[in-house]
Structure 1
Amino acid sequence: MWSSCTTLVLTLVAVSNFSPVHVLEFCESAAPDCSSHVDTASNKHPSAEPGQTRWKANILNLTQHLELFKLSCKKLIEALPVDEIDGNFVRTVKNCIFSRSNPTPLRGSLRLGAVSKDVIEGILDLDVAVTRSEDFLLYASGAKLLPGSAPLAHRYGGHQFGYWAGQLGDGRAHLLGQYLNRNGETWELQLKGSGKTPYSRFGDGRAVIRSSVREFLCSEAMHFLGVPTSRAASLIVSEEPVLRDQFYNGNVKTERGAVVLRLAKSWFRFGSLEILAENGEIDLLKKLLNFVIGEHFSWIHSDDPDKYLVFFSTVVTETAQLIAQWISVGFAHGVCNTDNFSLLSVTIDYGPFGFMDSYDPNFVPNSSDDEGRYRIGAQAEVGLFNLEKLLVALSPVLTQRQKKQAKIILKGYLDIYQMRLQQLFKDKLGFLGDEEEDEDDHLIVLLLKMMEDTRSDFTMTFRQLSEVSTNQLRSRNFTQMWALEDLSSHKLFSDWLIVYLQRLSRPQSESDLHRQQRMKRVNPRYVLRNWMAESAIRRAEESDFSEVELLHHILSSPFVTQDSAEEAGYAARPPLWANRLKVSCSS
C-alpha cells in the first residue's frame, strides 16, 4: 500500500529544489524619579523581581489612569543612531537606524473597533476599562502622545519576491517605545497606519479597516494557537477617507482609515541588517548586531569571538521551527520577503495571509503573487532563501572560517525544519514514542496525499480525528464529521486506517479518552479562515464590529468547542463563496 509514497517526504512543502545553501511605564506615585529604574535596568531576559516588588502591594490592581504611564525611547536612542535630518518628507536615509517621525492624527470621529483584553491587562498592566476613555482613543491612534514620547520610524531594506528592493522602512508605522511590565517583560509598542514617515515612498501612510481587522484578529489568533507572533492591543477606526486600488486593476475605491496598536519584543527584521551591509555601513551593522544580541540573545557572551555565528545559528534554527509551526496549522504568510522576517523568529506584518481550507500544497493566499512564490508549500524553501540573504548581510563581520561554518549551519536548516514538522504532525495524529519513525512518516505522507486528492479540509480533518473514538474509526461511523467523510472516499483510506489504528494502539496503556484529549490540545477547531475574516470586515465597514468581537473571543480559545462558534458555522464546511475570495497586498 505504501509503494506510491515511499519516495515522498513530508510533502506539505516541496523540497526537491532545495539548495544548500520608549518605555510605557506604570508609576505608583507621581514622583519625578518613579521611572528611573527603567533606564538603568538590564533588559537581557530581565528578572521579574523589580516588577514583582513594584506591584507587590497591588498585584491584582490594574491601573485605570493612562496619565500614570510614561513613554521613553531612551535605550533605543542612546544605543542606536537617529537620522540627523528631521521631518516626515520622503528621502533616502543613511547612517542611522531610526528617523524621528510623529504620527499624523486620523481625521474625523474615532471609534474603538476592537480591543484585546489579554494584551491590555496581561501585557500592558492596564484595566481594560481604560479603553473606553477618550484619552485611549487618542493615544492608541496617534492623535496624542504621552509625556516623554519620541516616536520613531525604523529604516530597513529587503528582498521582495526574490529581488533586492533597496530602502523600505516603516512607511506607515511609528514606534512609540518599550514597556517593561510587571512580569519583567519588555515590549515595543508600535502604531500601524499612523501616517507618513521618511520611508513612505509613494504611500499615504494609512491603513484601512479591511487590512487592520485582519491584522488585529490574526495576531491574536496566532498567539492562542501557540505560534510565536506579534500581538495586537487595539483597533481604532475613523471617518477619514483613504483611496485604495485593492486588486491593482484601476478600480480605486474610498475606504476608511484605521490604526492598530501592536506589540512585539522587537521589530528588527532581516532587512534591518541587509540595508546596512548593502550600503557598506559596517560599523553600524556591528552596532545593531551587538544591540540585538545583547537585548534578545543574552546567552551569547558579548566577548565571544563567534557571537555573530552563534546568533546566525540561533536564527536558522528558530526560523525553521517557526515555519514548521505555520505549516502545522495550515497558515500561509503570503509575503515572505526578508523585510517581513523577524530576527526574533516571530510572525510579523500580517498582510495577504491565509489559512488553508481544503488541503493544497499550492495554496496561494496572495492574489498579487502571480507566480505562487509564497504558496504554502514553498514557505520552507523561501525561509532558506531569506536565511541565505541574512548570511550575505552578516558576511562583512564574519571571518573566512566563520563563513564556512555558517554555510554548514545553513545546510542543516532543512533537517531542523523536517524534524520539527514531523514531531508536530505526530502530535496532531496522536502518536506516542519514537520507535515507529518510518511508519509514522508513511502514515503522515499518505494522509496528506489522500487529503490533497479528496480536497479534504486541513483543519477539520485533524480535529475530527481528535474527536472520533477508535470504535467509530473501526466502524467508519463519521456521522456529522464532514471532513472525515470526504477523506474516507479515497481508495487508500481503508488501508491507511488499518495501520493508523494499529499505531494508535501503541502504547496500549493509554485510554482512548486521553488520546482524544491530547490531540484536541494541538488540533484547533477554529482558525481565522478568509471567509470568516471577510464576513467580519463587511460588517465592520458598515460600523458593525460585533463579528470582529465574536471572532476575537472564539479565536482566543481555538481548541475548545464553543456554542457561539458552532452557531456561526465556524467549524462547518466553508460556504461556496469562500472559493471566490481574493486578498492582495493592498491595504
Structure 2
Amino acid sequence: MASVTFDDRFMRELPGDALSERRPRQVRACYSPVEPTEVAAPEVVAVWPEVAELVGFDEDFVQSERFAQVMAGNALLDGMRPYAACYGGHQFGNWAGQLGDGRAITLGEALHPETGARHELQLKGAGMTPYSRMADGRAVLRSSIREFLCSEAMFHLGVPTTRALSLVLTGEQVMRDKLYDGRPAPEPGAVVCRVAPSFLRFGSYEIHAARKDLDILRGLVEHTIRHYFPHLLGEDVASGSSAAASDVPVSDAHIVAWVREVAERTASMVVGWMRVGFVHGVMNTDNMSILGLTIDYGPYGWLDNFDPGFTPNTTDRGQRRYRYGYQPDVAYWNLYKLTNAVAALVEDATPLQEALDHFPAVYSELQLDMMAEKLGLASLEGSRDEALVEGLMAMLARVETDYILFYRGLAEVRCEGVEADAVDAEVLRAPLMEAYYSPDSHNDEDWEAIDAWLRAYVARVQKDGTRDEARREAMNAVNPIYVLRNYLAQEAIDQAEAGDFSGVYSLMEVLRAPYEERSEWGRFAKKRPDWARDKFGCSMLSCSS
C-alpha cells in the first residue's frame, strides 16, 4: 500500500465531546469521537479508481481484504481517529436545532504520499452516533448506489461536488419505511466512503451561534479560513512562503471576505446544477457545503421534461420549496442564515450584508454566461437576448420537452447559410423531434411558438457569425448527452437488489464521459419511459432514498 498517512487536524484544533458513547444527546462541541459499528460480511461492490488515486491508495491495497474491512467500518488504519461532526440546520425553512452526523463517521484526513493533498474520508451508513436520534445510523443499498454514482457523475459533468470512493455491502439487512406509509421492510445494507477536503456545512456554524457558544464559533471560523481559505489572509500565507496561517490574526475583514467567497462558490455550484438539470431535493442549511460543493445526495433528481416546479422529494411535494427553478433563491436564503450565524463575530455587520448581497449579482452574471454557452452564443446582452431566453423557457415548458435532448438537438439546427424567415418549418425543427415526449399532441399554436423561437435563434446565431461546426462543438461541450437519469439509477438499483451489479458498472463507464456521444451507449440517452412516470425512485423519492 502507498504510504498514505492520516491526520486529525480538525480534532486537534477544535473542541470535542468529552464523552465517547453513542447515546443520542445534545453535544456542545464541534464533534464526538465515535468508531464505526462492525458489520457481518463486508463485500466491496465497486470502487472509483480515480478517487482512490486522488486519495493516494494504490491498486494492491484497494483490492485487498484490508480495504474492504476499513471501508465497511470493521477496521481502522494507523492514524485514523474517527468522529461524527456536530451541526444544526434550517430544514424546509425552520430551525431544527442539533442535527449532526447521524449515519456518517469521518475516519480521518488522508494525506497523499506524494502531493500532500488532504482529503477527509467519511463512511456513510457506518452505525449509530450521538446524533442518530432515534435512527440506526445505517444506510440501505439503494441510497448508497445513488450517492456512489451521482457524486462522480457530477464531478465528470464539471459541477463542484464531494466525491465517492467505494460502495460496500454489509451482509446485513436494514429496516426502512421508504415511503413513510407505515410499511417498513428489510433492505440490504451498504456503506459508501465519500471524500472531500472538508464536510463542513452552513449548519456547522449555525449550531454554535444558536447556542451563543461564540468562542467555539470563532474557533471554527478561524480554523475554516486558515485551512480552506488561506489566500484571504494574504499572499504569503497562501503560498506558504512566509508567515504561517496560524500567525496571522483573523480579522473582521477576513470574515467578510470569507462570506463573500462562500457566496461566490455557492453561486457557481448552483449554476452548475441549473445547467445540467440537477435538483438537489433537500437544500437545508445542513446540506450546504462551506466549500461550495454538492453534498448529501439524498432525494435528488434530474429533470426529464423541463419543469421549473419539479421537486423529487416526497416530503416537499406540498410546499415545493426545493423545486428546480427555486434553487438559486434557496441558496441565497441559506447564505443569509450563514451570515446571521457569524454576524456576532464582527463589530460592524454592514460589510457582511454587502458580502451576502454579492450572491445575486455573481449568480446573475454566471447564469447569463452559462445560458450563452448552452445556446452556443458569444454572450447574452440587452433586452432582445433577455427576450430570447425568456421565450426559450416558455417554449420548453409549453410542451413536454426533454431537457437534456433539447440542447443536444439544438446544436444540430442549421444556422449557417440559411434565411431564418424562409427555412421550412419541418426542416428547422427536425433535430428537436427526439426531445418531445408527445409531438403528436402539439397543436398548431404550439408549433407556431416553437418555430417562431427557432427562427429568432437562427437569426441570433447568424448575428454572431459562428460557423455551425464550431457552435455544435462548443454546445456539446457544456450540454451533456448522458446524465444519471432517475429511471436509469432505479434500473441499476433494481438489478443490484437482485444481486446483479452490471447496471452499476455500466453507468460508471458512461457517466465518466457525459459529453461524448457513443453509438453503443444509445440506451443511456433515451427519454424517460412511460413506466417511470410514477414509479418510486424515478419520479419521487423520500429522504431515506
| Equivalent residue number for residue 440 of structure 1 | 385
| Equivalent residue number for residue 544 of structure 2 | 586
Report the CA distance between 1:466 and its aligned residue.
2.1
Whether the 8 Å CA contact 2:415–2:462 is kept in 1: the answer is no
Relative to structure 1, is the Cα distance of residues 145 and 192 closer, same or farther in structure 2, using a 3 angstrom cutoff? same
| Equivalent residue number for residue 336 of structure 1 | 283
Confirm whether residue 553 of structure 1 aligns to residue 509 of structure 2: yes
Alignment of 1:183-582 (within 5 A): 183-301=115-233, 302-303=248-249, 304-370=251-317, 371-400=319-348, 403-433=349-379, 436-470=381-415, 474=423, 475-476=427-428, 478=430, 481-483=433-435, 489-508=446-465, 510-566=466-522, 569-581=523-535, 582=540
| Equivalent residue number for residue 238 of structure 2 | none
Q: Match of 1:227, SS?
A: coil
Whether the 8 Å CA contact 1:325–1:421 is kept in 2: the answer is no
List runs of 5+ in structure 1 lacking aligned partners: 1-64
CA deviation digits over 1:172-219, x for unaligned, max 9?
111111123234422111110000111110110000001000000100
The separation in 1 between residues aligned to 2:148 and 2:437, in whole angstroms, is 34
List runs of 5+ in structure 2 lacking aligned partners: 234-247
Report the CA distance between 1:444 and its aligned residue.
1.5
The separation in 1 between residues aligned to 2:211 and 2:225, in whole angstroms, is 22
The one-letter amino acid of 2:101's match is: D
Report the CA distance between 1:479 and its aligned residue.
5.9
The one-letter amino acid of 2:530's match is: L
Report the CA distance between 1:480 and its aligned residue.
8.2
CA deviation digits over 1:214-242, x for unaligned, max 9?
00010000000100000001100122010
Q: Match of 2:367, SS?
A: helix
Whether the 8 Å CA contact 2:256–2:355 is kept in 1: the answer is no
| Equivalent residue number for residue 36 of structure 2 | 103
Report the CA distance between 1:305 and its aligned residue.
3.7
Q: Match of 1:358, SS?
A: coil
Whether the 8 Å CA contact 2:39–2:172 is kept in 1: the answer is yes
Question: How many residues are matched?
Answer: 512
Relative to structure 1, is the Cα distance of residues 480 and 345 closer, same or farther in structure 2, using a 3 angstrom cutoff? closer
User: Which among 134, 149, 153 is matched to residue 84 of structure 2?
Assistant: 153
Q: Match of 2:293, SS?
A: coil
Relative to structure 1, is the Cα distance of residues 282 and 246 closer, same or farther in structure 2, using a 3 angstrom cutoff? same
- How many percent of aligned residue pairs carry the same amino acid? 39
The one-letter amino acid of 2:161's match is: T
Whether the 8 Å CA contact 2:263–2:335 is kept in 1: the answer is yes
| Equivalent residue number for residue 44 of structure 1 | none
Relative to structure 1, is the Cα distance of residues 498 and 467 closer, same or farther in structure 2, using a 3 angstrom cutoff? closer
Q: Match of 2:524, SS?
A: coil
CA deviation digits over 1:254-286, x for unaligned, max 9?
001100011011100000000101111101111
Could you say what the CA RMSD is over the residues aligned between the two structures, in angstroms? 1.9
Of 453-462 and 493-502, more deviation after overlay is shown by 493-502
| Equivalent residue number for residue 10 of structure 2 | 76
| Equivalent residue number for residue 30 of structure 1 | none
The separation in 2 between residues aligned to 1:486 and 1:541, in whole angstroms, is 33
The one-letter amino acid of 2:375's match is: L
Q: Match of 2:331, SS?
A: helix
Whether the 8 Å CA contact 1:478–1:484 is kept in 2: the answer is no
The separation in 1 between residues aligned to 2:149 and 2:301, in whole angstroms, is 12
Q: Match of 1:506, SS?
A: helix
| Equivalent residue number for residue 91 of structure 1 | 25
The one-letter amino acid of 1:586's match is: S
